[in-house]
């Protein structure tokens, strides 16, 4: 897997973060398990992570044959990464899915007769100190409980390096590669960290579940997927057979032929949950969600997907754009530090251990430093291209994230509040031609990862919002100042893991021209 210079290396190699000390913390349930275990005891099903934790908790075991890790009968299961058969002994590397490193199993050649690369096995035996190099402990196999056979010659996943494009064509099997295995655990940890972060706010933010089927394109870009049942597509156009909706036009009322609508009027896959979050925020206060988002963009780049996860939040009663920007910045910092303190962070570093260049502590940015801010130019009507964003991060941010605020009004959706109406705006506000919004730009080519804004808390004179009457109701009936942001979760994961493409951090990537499996 080709990776750019790992951002996790830049972030995690801080003198304040000691992975070695963290990895030596024992599991609570392993404490005081130092007594000998009878050979008649039924083997306990273990994971590699728990066995590694137990081994570290008891040291290397020299001079103590009754150490909790040595000699205990266990059962492990997983996929065979590789198998090597000799005349008197066989070696197999088993990946049980809990750590990056495989378990080395030592078998009698007869027991290993039907074990091949890619097979699923369940093995029972003794967890012993290794006599060889490369691992501290190994499994001396006494019994092969089951085998899910795999043809080594036909298996698309091979031991040698495979091209990223090839692996993307078999996403159902790509998950079995070490990098994808680590990424899945990193994603799981970041999701837990996200919930912890929002719980720590005062008041805590409530997680909600917005709909994926919507009636509007809140981004205003028109890059939406329209929903239609397959049975409707298979028929010729017919008169509308469903009851007319409140928005039905005169042509429909007169019986002019139109495409049949399952929901009475066109509906789309959501491009953002912001409008629905505003509805929840009016009652619950601070709210957030992590849900799929869909964009019908014909963009064949390493930064774009047609289906991706968006982390969105909305805060009621916010005192200005600066407070929303601060929360977004602290969220990214919190997730980065949380990952650095977790074993999955060590696994990420181990994936890049063979790189020729590993940055020194002097190159590692201090996470305590405030990220650079830049106020937008109201006359920059064409917006910021990727090249502009990269230049800002490299030159203004010096390799760290940069926050750009107050973009020209013409570039942003209708609902954004003019900068001049942000009561907490600083003296750098550009006036009536910009709106109260921000983007967070990442280094190393990942560009925009987060965007937020303050919306109008009221309807402007003469404004009706057309078909968005439900959204207009939020302004008519008890609105308050509020603001929020959306963060591309997959793009942040790519940034932290050093992946060359956002397509490589999603289990089943969907992008222009491809939606395999």
The pTM of this model reads 0.80
The predicted pLDDT at position 266 comes to 86
Q: 276 and 213 in one domain?
A: yes
Question: Residue 22 falls within a domain, yes or no?
Answer: no
Question: Residue 397 falls within a domain, yes or no?
Answer: no
Q: 338 and 237 in one domain?
A: no
Q: DSSP string of 179-214? A: HHHHHHHHHHHHHHHHHHHHHHSSSPPEE----SEE
Q: 346 and 257 in one domain?
A: no
The rounded distance, in Å, linking the Cα atoms of 10 and 496 is 9
- Beta carbons of 303 and 441 less than 8 angstroms apart: no
Question: Residue 23 falls within a domain, yes or no?
Answer: no
Q: 194 and 242 in one domain?
A: no
What is the total residue count of the chain?
Answer: 517
Boundary of a domain, candidates 148, 164, 189: 148
The predicted pLDDT at position 289 comes to 98
The rounded distance, in Å, linking the Cα atoms of 232 and 241 is 12
Q: 124 and 39 in one domain?
A: yes
DSSP 107: E
Give the range of the structural domain holding residue 312, as residue numbers without chain letter. 178-227+267-365+455-504
Q: 343 and 253 in one domain?
A: no
* Number of structural domains found in the chain: 3
**In angstroms, what CA-CA distances link 14 with 4, 197, 340?**
20, 22, 10
Q: 485 and 340 in one domain?
A: yes
Sign of CA dihedral 14, 18, 20, 24: negative
Question: Residue 187 falls within a domain, yes or no?
Answer: yes
Boundary of a domain, candidates 244, 263, 282: 263
CATH number at residue 461: 3.30.930.10
Question: Residue 476 falls within a domain, yes or no?
Answer: yes
Q: 60 and 209 in one domain?
A: no
Instruction: Please enumerate in sequence order all residues whose Cβ is within 8 A of that of 511, keeping only pairs 6 or more positions apart, or say none.
Output: 299, 300, 304, 305, 306, 503
Kindly give the pairing relationship between strand 72-85 and strand 44-45.
parallel
Boundary of a domain, candidates 103, 127, 148: 148
Q: 313 and 221 in one domain?
A: yes
Q: 126 and 188 in one domain?
A: no
Question: Residue 433 falls within a domain, yes or no?
Answer: no
pLDDT by residue for the chain (517 residues), tens digit each? 444 444 344 333 333 333 233 233 333 322 333 333 333 445 667 777 676 666 555 444 333 444 445 678 999 999 999 999 999 999 999 999 888 889 999 999 999 999 999 999 999 999 999 988 878 899 999 999 989 999 988 999 988 889 999 999 999 999 999 999 999 999 999 999 999 999 999 999 999 999 999 987 665 556 899 888 888 776 645 444 444 444 444 444 455 556 778 888 889 999 999 999 999 999 999 999 999 999 998 988 888 999 999 999 999 999 899 999 999 999 999 999 999 999 999 888 888 765 544 443 333 445 567 788 888 765 566 678 888 888 888 888 888 899 999 988 888 887 889 887 776 655 444 445 889 999 999 988 778 999 999 998 888 776 777 778 888 888 889 889 999 999 999 999 999 999 989 999 999 999 999 999 9
The predicted pLDDT at position 161 comes to 86
Q: 215 and 96 in one domain?
A: no
CATH number at residue 120: 2.40.50.140
CB-CB neighbours of 83 under 10 Å: 20
181 closest CA partner among 294, 94, 119, 106: 94
Q: 117 and 90 in one domain?
A: yes
Question: Residue 292 falls within a domain, yes or no?
Answer: yes
The rounded distance, in Å, linking the Cα atoms of 82 and 91 is 8
- Residue 495: helix, strand or coil by DSSP? helix
């Amino acid at each position: 897997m080709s990776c750019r210079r790992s951002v996790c290396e830049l972030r995690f190699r801080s003198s304040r973060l000691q992975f070695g000390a963290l990895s030596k913390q024992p599991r609570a349930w392993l404490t005081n398990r130092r007594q000998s275990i009878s050979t008649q005891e039924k083997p306990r099903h273990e994971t590699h992570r728990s066995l590694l934790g137990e081994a570290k908790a008891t040291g290397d075991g020299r001079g103590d044959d009754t150490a909790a890790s040595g000699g205990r009968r266990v059962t492990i299961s997983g996929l065979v990464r590789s198998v090597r058969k000799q005349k008197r002994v066989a070696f197999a590397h088993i990946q049980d899915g809990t750590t990056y490193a495989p378990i080395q199993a030592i078998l009698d050649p007869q027991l290993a007769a039907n074990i091949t690369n890619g097979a699923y096995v369940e093995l029972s035996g003794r967890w012993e100190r290794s006599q060889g190099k490369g691992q501290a402990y190994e499994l001396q196999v006494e019994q092969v409980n089951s085998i899910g056979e795999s043809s080594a010659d036909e298996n698309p996943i091979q031991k040698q390096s495979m091209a990223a494009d090839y692996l993307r064509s078999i996403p159902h099997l790509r998950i079995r590669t070490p990098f994808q295995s680590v990424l899945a655990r990193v994603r799981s940890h970041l999701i837990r960290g996200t919930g912890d972060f929002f719980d720590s706010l005062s008041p805590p933010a409530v997680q909600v579940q917005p709909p994926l089927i919507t009636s509007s394109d809140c981004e205003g870009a028109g890059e939406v997927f329209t929903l239609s049942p397959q049975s409707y597509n298979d028929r010729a156009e017919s008169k509308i057979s469903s009851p007319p909706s409140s928005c039905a036009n005169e042509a429909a009322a007169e019986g002019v032929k139109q495409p049949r609508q399952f929901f009475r009027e066109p509906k789309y896959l959501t491009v953002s949950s912001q409008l629905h979050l505003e509805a929840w925020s009016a009652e619950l206060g601070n709210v957030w969600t992590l849900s799929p988002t869909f964009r019908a963009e014909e963009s064949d780049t390493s930064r774009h997907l047609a289906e991706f996860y968006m982390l969105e939040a909305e805060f009621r009663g916010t005192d200005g754009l600066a407070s929303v920007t601060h929360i977004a910045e602290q969220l990214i910092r919190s997730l980065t530090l949380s990952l650095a303190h977790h074993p999955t962070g060590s696994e990420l570093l181990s994936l890049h251990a063979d790189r020729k260049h590993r940055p020194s502590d002097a190159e590692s940015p201090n996470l305590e430093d405030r990220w650079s801010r830049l106020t937008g130019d109201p006359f920059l009507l064409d917006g910021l291209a990727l090249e502009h964003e990269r230049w800002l991060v490299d030159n203004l941010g010096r390799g760290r994230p940069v926050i750009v605020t107050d973009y020209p009004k013409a570039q942003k959706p209708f609902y954004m509040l003019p900068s001049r109406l942000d009561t907490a705006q600083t003296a750098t506000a550009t006036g009536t031609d910009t709106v109260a919004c921000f983007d967070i730009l990442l280094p190393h080519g990942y560009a925009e990862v987060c965007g937020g804004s303050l919306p109008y808390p009221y309807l402007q004179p003469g404004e009706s919002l057309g078909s968005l009457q439900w959204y207009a109701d939020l302004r008519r009936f008890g609105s308050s100042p509020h603001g929020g942001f959306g963060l591309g979760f997959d793009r942040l994961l790519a940034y932290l893991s050093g992946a060359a493409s956002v397509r490589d951090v999603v289990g089943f990537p969907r992008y222009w021209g491809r939606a395999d499996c």
